[in-house]
Amino acid sequence: MKKMSISMQIRTIFIGLTLVILVATSSLISIITYNKNKELVMKQLSEITDLSYYLIDSTVNESIINYLRASTDSYKEYGEYLYTQYLNEEISLSELEELFFEFLSSQVIGETGYAYIIDSNGVIVYHPFLDKGTDISEYDFIQTQIEGKIGFISYEWQNVGEDEIKNKVLYMNYIEELDYIITTSSYEDEFIYLVNLYDLKQDIDNIVIGEKGYTYLMSSDGTLLIHPTQEGENIRDLQDENGVYFVREILSNKSGSIIYPFSNLGEESPKDKIVIYRYYDKLDVYICSGVNISEINSPVIQILKSLIVMFLIVLIIVFIVSSRISKLILYPIKKLVEAMKRINTGNFDSQIEYNKNDEMGELIDIFNQNISAVNKYMGDLKNLNLELENKVAIRTNELENLSNQDALTKLFNRRKLNLFVEELWNECLLTKQNITFIMMDIDNFKAYNDNYGHLAGDEVLIKVSEILKRVFKRDDDFISRFGGEEFLVVIKNSTKAISEKLLKSFYKELDAENIIHEFSKTAANITVSSGLFIGIPTEKGNSIDFINQADDLLYEAKKNGKNQVYSNVETKVI
């Protein structure tokens, strides 16, 4: 046997050790990278599935609450309108109840839902199936209604003769003057028709998972409700390459993950696919997110190729200049290790700056591309969540505006007035600034309604409201319909002179409008009496006292001839 030179032996040993190190290191890095990459993809799939679940659940809950709230608020407004007629002696209390109960009985809520009224003691005032006067305060949800009076409640319920307990929802609002807790109630599953899954299609289709991964929705019978390519198809009996009915397994387990080999259209060979799924019982749908496992392996293969190239380069350069090797190779490797450490701590913003166009640069480019992809996935999830929050905020704001507005005059209603005055009182209590309350009432308005009709009366209310808007248009002016033909103007930190000037402008515009009132005992046209009260809030006082003071001054103006203003800062009529 030919002898091998020492130099060759050294080279052989060195090359052998290098190859062993290469294989061991490559295997270790591939295992670590694969596990980390798989963990990251699994986490992303779980987060996307959960986000889709919460997106659908939030849409369902908001739809139900908004529907019930809108119905109940409209019932309350009608009840308050009838109560105003009662206060104006246009109808009796029994007529109020008859009209209101008849109205409620005509309302349709879902399939079996209805509206009912209880008082603060849990006694039925109106119910389509139970007798008036029945005490139902023994039920927990009734106790919750008595305590809250306004808001949304969800509870379990089982009627006599029914086999299962079902989830029921209600929304309630309160008319304090009548002690009416007005309630709209029905089974939760009867409102599912309010939700159109296809409204979510764009959001779900926009979810990006790797190169070919996606999220889809499937019904409990295996029909694809939302899917990039197979929407509307039933895949319940679909088998994978091993003959396993993997869809049936998903439908059976409700929630979990599954790996199965499958060939999509256009693919030459089957690929293992991983799917994480979660069942949403309210809509009876499965939320599934899937990706090919090959997409998990792809970064590992790329890294392995780069590592092989890197080690071969190291092996060659070591024989030439080891010092140069250290400078050229060890520095970027150190940066790569540091970046991997930051990733292990959860910091995915770990781009590596390396401007040389060599094999190490290719490796780092691949690393940076993978990190950028991860950051993009995280950013997409964050943007999707922000978009959902914005939609909810916009819908909530729209409903809030409707609940704060008087339907006829478009002025603020009593609900908004109470909130505004409470905030303004607390602010002026700290700043020692005054608050002006102007209580205004249309003179002889009942006679106008009786002779010209309520529609004409509504037009008068609208015209007076428009004049108020034109006159009291500053940032610190707040106008509300107090009730019936009464209006309340609230002004922050005003003076008697400014308030009188604004009132004179109002009366001037009202006279110019010349709304004919042949049945008025005060003038030939519509007139208004006002009570002007200016005061500074104190710890012992409250806003109701100030409003009552303005109301008392209005009463004096009415009693002493109408069509005038009485003020607390000057006894003489303005």
Q: Which residues participate in catalysis according to the annotation?
A: 485
- Cβ 126 vs Cβ 132: under 8 Å: yes
- Cβ 135 vs Cβ 121: under 8 Å: yes
Between the alpha carbon of residue 197 and those of residues 155, 214, 230, the distances in Å are 25, 17, 16
Amino acid in the structure at residue 574 = I
**Closest to 223 in 3D by CA, of 233, 209, 213:** 233
**Closest to 520 in 3D by CA, of 453, 451, 464, 459:** 451
271 beta partners: 262
- Cβ 230 vs Cβ 222: under 8 Å: no
Using DSSP's 3-state secondary structure scheme, residue 526 falls into: coil
Q: Give strand ranges (E) for 363-444.
A: 435-442
Report the alpha-carbon distance of residue 248 to residue 481 in Å, rounded: 61
DSSP H helical ranges for 88-154: 93-105, 140-148
Residue 153: partners with Cβ closer than 8 Å, 6 or more residues away: 141, 144, 145, 169, 170, 171, 172
Other beta carbons less than 10 A from residue 167's beta carbon: 12
* CA 33 centroid distance within chain: 39
Report the alpha-carbon distance of residue 158 to residue 138 in Å, rounded: 15
Report the alpha-carbon distance of residue 441 to residue 151 in Å, rounded: 32
- Cβ 563 vs Cβ 527: under 8 Å: yes
- Cβ 185 vs Cβ 75: under 8 Å: no
483 beta partners: 486
Four-residue CA torsion sign, 383, 384, 388, 391? positive
DSSP H helical ranges for 439-542: 445-452, 454-471, 496-513
